[in-house]
Amino acid sequence: MIVSIVDLSRHVGQTVTLQGWLYHRRDSGKLVFLVVRDGTGLCQCVVARGPDTDSFFEDCRRLGQESSLRVTGVVRADPKQVGGHELTVTHVEIVQNAENYPITPKPHGIDFLFRHRHLHFRSRRQWHILRVRHTLVDEIRGYFNRNGYTLIDTPIFAPSAGEGSQTLFSVDYFGEPVFLAQTGQLYVEAACMAFGKVYCFGPTFRAEKSKTRRHLTEFWMVEPEIAYADLDAVIAVAEDFICSIVQRVLSDHRADLEFLGRDVAALERIRAPFYRITHRQAAEILRGPKARELLERDLAQKSARIAEVQKLIAEKETQAKAGGVKEWQKEKLAADAADLREELADLEVEVQNIPHHMQLAANFDPNGDLGGSDETIISRLHDRPVFVTHYPKGCKAFYMKLNAEDRTRVNNVDLLAPDGYGEIIGGSQREEDLTTLRDRIHEDGLNEADYEWYLDLRRYGTVPHGGFGLGVERTLAWLCGLKHIRETIPYPRMMGKIYP
RNA sequence: UCCCCGAUAGCUCAAUGGUAGAGCGGCCGGCUGUUAACCGGUAGGUUGUAGGUUCGAGUCCUACUCGGGGAGCCA
């Protein structure tokens, strides 16, 4: 009977067949240990030399990493083994003996791994992350589908820049220059006047020349849009939506998160209500003593850690040079030292940036946008996500509704994820008044003719409405506690990176 | 666009300006319970590219290419 590794607990004592790939192999004279993966999990399969296994024993001993094979054997529960089960092998069918698989169990560089991305996500860590991504995407769709939203797919070819300022990819469209969409928002606004509550979900493209751990040139975004909604209603949906995502990932992926080293308890603390502050309050925090104290404390802690790490590296090196140390111990010590050196390099960059960040925060312009470091400060001063509302209109898009009490501000909201993961949601109430919207288009120097269809929405049955966009990859990076966004998508597209 | 760092065997890294090395991976052999197994043997190189300094360059200098990290900008 062909069984998936994930289902082995239901087949203890039975003879089953696994179909998969060889993750790792060790042999010990009369035994071969085949660690097999089948896409649902890992299972160690033990082949003992004997009359019954003679026909394939030698072949198993020489089997290369990632060889494809069918393994038949008796399932045994063994809590010590990965996955909790082990197979005592009675038969092996080698589908292909793979030779010289490039990704070995030893450390590799980032460049090498991502040049082999088509193989890289067979590795455990990447496999765990992409499983969580699957559930995140499923819950995004599920949440909106359960709550009466209609999916509206928006175009990827866009005739003009949706929001004006950003750098977009230009494409030749039968001789006419068009752009790859950076948002489906304007289109989804039109759809919400037809369906009430809608969302679009797809890839978006930004041509910004940003080479950082938070940027991709192609990333996925979900954008709900709700008719008869003001800013408070938009915030309420965003909060409920995030809670729902967190709960779903916690319930389905605790083991994956633990494998990834995520602090699961911190995720469990993500509950409504989130913090809610205005941009003006954020400015006060940044310019005030709390921000300075946070960064000063940070500087002290990181400096202390640098000294500690330097000491640890020196100790490892001394131990490695001492007499009587086995080769594998030396290797382990060298690997530890390499990890420590990497941490040291990161710390040094952070420490180097802190004075700059302190200056940026202290001199924060109350009429300016929050920078990346400002967002980090705000989020780190709170233990749950923070909604920041009412930004100056100058730093936001033309379609955001001007605030009734303060016409220099807009009814917008950004959600800052904890721990410096940055802005994962950006949204607003939209300007529904035809005249005001037209003025804003002109103020931003945009061509009114490009937006005639959009202005129609304000001519024919305009209503208060709003929505937001959530970046899937940044959200996943936060959920999994990842350092770099490139791990959150199967095929990352970054500046200067398009292979494979 | 700017700043910092890097490029040596398939991979990860060593090598005072003076004969290019190790570990892993590969291949061959050994070992009955391994967990990045271990032990012995073996093959593997135009030191990113182009110039320059020098008796001599992996090492020093210049430019370029590619990569990493950061700043700005952003989801």
- For residue range A116-132, what is the model confidence (pLDDT) as tens digits? 899 999 999 999 999 99
Nucleotide of closest approach to A375 (CA, C1'): B74
The CA–C1' separation of A150 and B49, in angstroms, is 55
ipTM: 0.85
Least confident of A25-39, A136-150, A153-167, A240-254: A153-167
The reply to whether the CB atom of residue A326 sits less than 7 A from any atom in nucleic acid chain B is yes
The reply to whether the CB atom of residue A321 sits less than 7 A from any atom in nucleic acid chain B is no
Nucleotide of closest approach to A346 (CA, C1'): B69
Q: Which amino acid is at A174?
A: F
Nucleotide of closest approach to A32 (CA, C1'): B34
- For residue range A14-62, what is the model confidence (pLDDT) as tens digits? 999 999 999 988 888 788 899 999 999 999 999 998 888 888 888 888 8
Whether residue A324 is predicted with pLDDT greater than 60 in this model: the reply is no
Window 116-155 of chain A: CB closer than 7 A to strand B: none
Residues near A42 by beta carbon (within 8 Å), at least 6 away in sequence: A5, A23, A35, A36, A82, A83, A124
The reply to whether the CB atom of residue A79 sits less than 7 A from any atom in nucleic acid chain B is no
Domain boundaries, chain A: 5-96, 124-274+384-488, 290-361
> Which has the closest alpha carbon to A148: A227, A86, A76?
A227
Average pLDDT, rounded, for chain A: 89
The reply to whether the CB atom of residue A221 sits less than 7 A from any atom in nucleic acid chain B is yes
The CA–C1' separation of A162 and B1, in angstroms, is 24
The CA–C1' separation of A345 and B63, in angstroms, is 28
Nucleotides of B under 7 A from a protein CB: 1-2, 10-13, 23-28, 30-39, 66-75
The reply to whether the CB atom of residue A161 sits less than 7 A from any atom in nucleic acid chain B is no
The CA–C1' separation of A11 and B29, in angstroms, is 39
Contact A21, A38 (CB under 8 A): yes
Q: Which CATH superfamily is domain A5-96 in?
A: Nucleic acid-binding proteins (2.40.50.140)
How far apart (Å, rounded) are the C-alpha atoms in residues A421 and A480? Answer: 11
pLDDT at A26: 86
Least confident of A131-135, A158-162, A279-283, A348-352: A158-162
Mean of pLDDT values over A315-338: 64
- For residue range A421-480, what is the model confidence (pLDDT) as tens digits? 888 999 999 999 999 999 999 988 888 888 999 999 999 999 999 999 999 999 999 999
pLDDT at A92: 93
Contact A394, A328 (CB under 8 A): no
Window 275-314 of chain A: CB closer than 7 A to strand B: none
Contact A89, A448 (CB under 8 A): no
Residues near A345 by beta carbon (within 8 Å), at least 6 away in sequence: none
Rounded to 10°, the helix A452-459/A185-195 angle is: 30
Contact A428, A318 (CB under 8 A): no
Angle among Cα A385, A388, A390 to the nearest 5 degrees reads 160
Whether residue A317 is predicted with pLDDT greater than 80 in this model: the reply is no
The reply to whether the CB atom of residue A343 sits less than 7 A from any atom in nucleic acid chain B is no
Nucleotide of closest approach to A368 (CA, C1'): B73
Q: Which CATH superfamily is domain A124-274+384-488 in?
A: Bira Bifunctional Protein; Domain 2 (3.30.930.10)
Residues near A304 by beta carbon (within 8 Å), at least 6 away in sequence: none
